[in-house]
Structure 1
């Protein structure tokens, strides 16, 4: 595993998140009317934050990465505690299922119980958001050479807040794809899909299999539904000709721009390496030095 690819996972995630933050929930037409093609970190916009501000996507990924670095293993109870501490700090952006699960954790639920209870109480249409896939890529660095372990911890990391199989298996597929890119696999997404096999919901496989074949669909959705987010972000992350193009394309589609940008950025950052992410983006993000240091530490997690 090269340092450039390990760093690219986390830095790409943060760049996509921060570029997409000011235009979250806006349509492609609205973004175009205001920015033309958004290629620069800008301030204000959605959430009214300074240019380069990360959101819950990178903040939760940092919780996972810090826990992995501190404990030299994945400890879901420790990660859950860190999520609660983060929630109690008053983040400006947090998803509904995540908020509900963290409230249950704060009230005493175990990490195995909280996300499961929220999922069971949520109707179809609001029970399979992208809030766990956006934060899971640090696990791919730590467990890149152990697919069975990576699949196990990816499911557990999702279960804390998102227990729907589309979310848990979505995390597995994303992380196995990133690990495949780290390890120079010939067909990382196809190998990830082959690994999960019948464990993955049909809807998820149906959406992702055409990408693995190199035959993407004509229409890509940008909602916060985990299947849409993964399909669109993996498309842009795997097919773009540069890391910058992947993130710019993902963000300018509109919709859930920070999360789709973050996932596409993690994938493209792995493909092309951290050095291919624009310096002007990296300079705008306060957390870049810590993310680089954590990536180096995660490479050494046994």
Structure 2
């Protein structure tokens, strides 16, 4: 259960490093919508998810939502959710959004699909397509879900082979990006390319300047240039990082992600979700947790997801 809690808790640390309590933003707002929907329906229901996203936004719009996703929400409400994927497919003249908004919220899917990798990939993509119809957008969410899923199945006490972690991701993304090879793209395997850059940077150890990390991996709102960056932050923070003074690897992950600049909130949220799944709830200090709005509710979502998954697997919680 500690791991379950930490997946959702990690998404709450956007802006929570300084007292007093900081309000959660769209990262957590949409993450909790996915958790609530999974708990109620015990499956991914795209129509229900769309309704929850819209209701959450219009009841509390000041959480930092981007203008493009708000446009999707308005169209969903106008068409009364007849087609939960239609408005997203209309975005950007039909090309869809390639942003990281679907990846930042996908962590509950990784927990829900703990025992089924194939279901994980399918569900992560569908959860993304409600707002992100571009292959770079939904594949970014799939990659993030896979990274969290991998972390859930590892034991932090045994240590992490960062090279194996990345190679496993490359292998899994090869199967996913195979579907894109016939689209005539300049690079039909962009996430594999980015993950190879992650491996190259890790192989060089602590001699890599932050500016080079940003140049190679990116730090903006595009999923392609932020999800691999979040994965790198988690893996790089397995060891001490110059200029970051903490012995806590979970906190080191967050601080390093923030230090790279750019879309710091969402990259740190995604890196934190991966780290939380790996290290567990116990790695998140109480002092840090006290800064976060909605803490007890988020922990409850995670606990309930854990119990649901355990029951479906016939494993005692």
TM over 0.5: yes
2:278 aligns to what SS in structure 1? Answer: helix
Runs of 5+ consecutive residues of structure 1 not aligned to the other structure: 20-39, 44-50
Instruction: Tell me the alpha carbon deviations over residues 63-121 of structure 1, each in whole angstroms, 9 at most, x when there is no partner.
Output: 00111112222111111100010121142211133112111111115112121111444
When the two chains are superposed, the root-mean-square deviation of aligned CA atoms in Å is: 2.1
> Distance between the aligned counterparts of 1:295 and 1:278, measured in 2?
17
> Distance between the aligned counterparts of 2:95 and 2:174, measured in 1?
26
- After TM superposition, which residue ranges in structure 1, 4 or more long, deviate above 4 angstroms? none
> Distance between the aligned counterparts of 1:120 and 1:172, measured in 2?
23
How many Å apart are 1:203 and its aligned residue? 2.0
TM-score w.r.t. structure 1 length?
A: 0.82
The size of the alignment, in residue pairs, is 269
> Distance between the aligned counterparts of 1:60 and 1:190, measured in 2?
30
Instruction: Tell me the alpha carbon deviations over residues 258-292 of structure 1, each in whole angstroms, 9 at most, x when there is no partner.
Output: 11110011011112111111211211212111111
Of 186, 201, 208, the match for 2:195: 208
TM-score w.r.t. structure 2 length?
A: 0.79
Q: How does 1:33-112 map to 2 (within 5 A)?
A: 40-42=17-19, 51-92=21-62, 93-108=64-79, 109=81, 110-112=83-85
The answer on 1:113 being equivalent to 2:86 is: yes
Of 8, 11, 30, the match for 1:10: 8
Q: How does 1:1-302 map to 2 (within 5 A)?
A: 3-15=1-13, 17-19=14-16, 40-42=17-19, 51-92=21-62, 93-108=64-79, 109=81, 110-121=83-94, 127-184=97-154, 187-200=164-177, 201-212=188-199, 214-215=202-203, 218-220=212-214, 221-241=218-238, 242-299=249-306, 300-301=308-309, 302=312
Matched with 1:24 is none
| Distance of aligned partners of 1:184 and 1:116 in 2 relative to their CA distance in 1, 3 Å threshold | same
Larger radius of gyration: 2
Higher normalized contact order (CA 8 Å, seq sep 6+, divided by chain length): 1
> Distance between the aligned counterparts of 2:127 and 2:253, measured in 1?
26
Runs of 5+ consecutive residues of structure 2 not aligned to the other structure: 156-160, 178-187, 239-248, 313-317
User: Does the CA contact (< 8 Å) of 2:27 and 2:269 recur in 1?
Assistant: yes
> Distance between the aligned counterparts of 2:282 and 2:128, measured in 1?
30
User: Does the CA contact (< 8 Å) of 1:173 and 1:189 recur in 2?
Assistant: no
> Distance between the aligned counterparts of 1:182 and 1:212, measured in 2?
21
